[in-house]
Amino acid sequence: MKKAIIIGSGIAGIAASIRLSVQGYDVHVFEKNDYPGGKLSAFEKHGYRFDAGPSLFTQPQNVEELFALANEPIEDYFQYQEVDIVCHYFFENGIQLNTYADREKLAHEFQTKLGEQPDSVKKYLSKAESLYENIGEIFLNHSLHVSKTWLHKRVINALKNIKLPYLFNSLHQYNSTQFKSKEAVQIFNRFATYNGSNPYKAPAMLSLIPHLEQNQGTFYPKGGMINITNALYKLAIKKGVQFHFNNSVEKIVHEDGMAKGIVTNGKTIDANLIVSNGDVYYTYKNLLQNSAKVKMLEKIERSSSALIFYWGIKKEFAQLGLHNILFSEKYDVEFDHLFYKKTLFNDPTIYINITSKMEANQAPDGCENWFVMINAPTNNGQDWAMLIQEAKQHIIQKLNRILKTDIESFIETEEILNPVTIEQKTGTYQGSLYGTSSNSKFAAFFRPANFSSEINGLYFCGGTVHPGGGIPLCLKSAYITSELIKKKHARD
């Protein structure tokens, strides 16, 4: 049996392990931590349960596909439900707005709260759907670094149908032509942050992202986001995948342009092929010592990072839901600070995720588990102790102002995750959440490939390679990588 080694057990690594196991490989996953999931992990403190990383679940079909492929009933491993209110939005001017999953309710909300024409949101989401299905779906499910992709009839037609404004206008410029209220523009600008980008620079092509959330639906996994990891991990085990925790890979072994294995704990382990689910920059720098690739990647702008406070709140807030956004009054200035000044803004946009809204057992009785996140620049040697202290005060002041409360008096427990600790725990270069940003017009075409052009048998998956970061795209990267392997090595 052919042997495959996967470096890292992030969600893409686990998905790739399942796919390769189904292809007939003897799959071994080596993970430096003592748990699977990478960023998609969780912890408990003083009776409060927290998802540590990604908190938004869309496109459950990507998970369902893995169970169907493995011929296992998903209901034995994983359950989820659709969320009626996608997000609760709060503005400094007192406006509060809900983005409903139901398109009619959503249009009515935008009309009554923002004065938008009822059809404005409907038309926007219809365009997003068309953009995704005719263009996005093709590029998100195929390698852009294989010539056959570009010769496919659907790809040729997609390229012909790409309208120039989607490439040459920023997302903000595009949204400003679609809506008349600054609040509506700001809501749809926010989708640039889904891949760590700046809406004032990133291309309008990102306007397809709302399709995933608003058209296809937003969901909540029973037990929290960690159950995505748990379900896929159990499925991988069922399919014979072997996981080796507390095993940090020190080197990828290759000879004469062929991948041969890895070195872990000073021991060489042979394999027929290798898939790195680690940060591609880290892989090239530390595991391959490829200085040319490293220099090339260093020239590409990184995505944003995050500063997260995990707060156990000894009070319930009826005006909040599962997903909540408290917007900065000066959104453009906030992104100038993140991407140009490399620091935090004193009026940050605050995202709050509260899973106890969906399942009471996620927090003690009468309490809530708050995942409080603001966008942050990547780690460039800033004084993070000072920035974290200042950010906490700014967050508390904003929460008190908008929610009309004294939130600090209700914080019963606290943990903090910042760009430095993100880099330490996950190996992501400078703590960026999505590898490179999408702030340039052709950024999607220049993301690192899912395979090595220099070393046969070496592949990559995860948020730092094509097609990008976030759970849906990480799962798609596992699909792309496994398909490349199937086509390349089927007759080996």
**Encoded tokens for 4:** 């495959």
Type of residue numbered 64 = E
Asked if the peptide bond before residue 448 counts as cis, ω within 30 degrees of 0, the response is: no
Domains of the chain, first to last? 3-40+59-67+223-301+436-489 (3.50.50.60)
How many whole angstroms separate alpha carbon 317 and alpha carbon 71? 43
The segments of the chain whose pLDDT lies below 70 read 147, 149-162, 164, 444-445, 490-492
DSSP label of 488: H
| pLDDT for res 389 | 98
| Residue 492: predicted pLDDT | 52
Cβ atoms of 300 and 333 within 8 Å: the answer is: no
Report d(CA 119, CA 428) in Å as an integer: 42
- CB contact set of 426 (below 8 Å; sequence gap of 6+): 10, 38, 39, 279
Structure tokens at 147: 């010539």
The pLDDT value given to residue 438: 86
CB 368 within 8 A of CB 357: yes
Long-range contacts (CB closer than 8 Å, 24 or more residues apart) made by 142-147: 142/480, 143/449, 143/450, 143/451, 143/466, 143/480, 143/484, 144/444, 144/445, 144/447, 144/449, 144/466, 145/449, 145/450, 145/451, 145/453, 145/466, 146/484
Per residue in 373-410, pLDDT (tens digit) is 999 999 999 999 999 999 999 999 999 999 999 999 99
- How does pLDDT run across 124-135, given as a tens digit for each residue? 999 999 999 888
Cβ atoms 456, 484 nearer than 8 A: no
| Residue 42 φ/ψ, nearest 5 degrees | -155, 165
Instruction: Please compute Rg for the chain using Cα positions.
Output: 22
* Distance from C-alpha of 104 to C-alpha of 181, rounded to nearest angstrom: 19
Contact criterion met (CB below 8 Å) for 53 and 10: no
Helical segments of 132-208, H only: 137-140, 147-151, 153-161, 164-168, 171-178, 182-189
Q: What burial letters (b/e) apply to 351-390, b meaning 16+ CB within 10 Å?
A: bbbbbbbbeeebbbeebbbbbbbbbbbbbeebebeebbee
- Copy the structure tokens of residue 272: 């027929």
The span from the CA of 369 to the CA of 362, in Å, is 7
Residue 128 has what pLDDT? 95
Q: What is the pLDDT of residues 201-259, one digit of tens each?
A: 999 999 999 999 999 999 999 999 999 999 999 999 999 999 999 999 999 999 999 99
pLDDT for 151 equals 64
Contact 311, 372 (CB under 8 A): yes
For residue 27, what are the CA distances in angstroms to 270, 310, 351?
A: 12, 35, 38
- State the Cα angle at 302 between 172 and 466, rounded to 5°: 90
Distance of alpha carbon 376 from alpha carbon 338, whole angstroms: 6
State the DSSP string of 307-353. EEEEEEESS--TT--SEEEE--S-HHHHHHIIIII-S--SS--EEEE
d(CA 278, CA 271): 18
Q: Which amino acid is at 276?
A: S
Give me 185's structure tokens: 């523009």
Q: Which two tokens stand for residue 380?
A: 């460039």
DSSP H or E segment with residue 219: strand 218-221
Single-letter amino acid, residue 258 = M
323-326 and 85-90 strand pairing? parallel
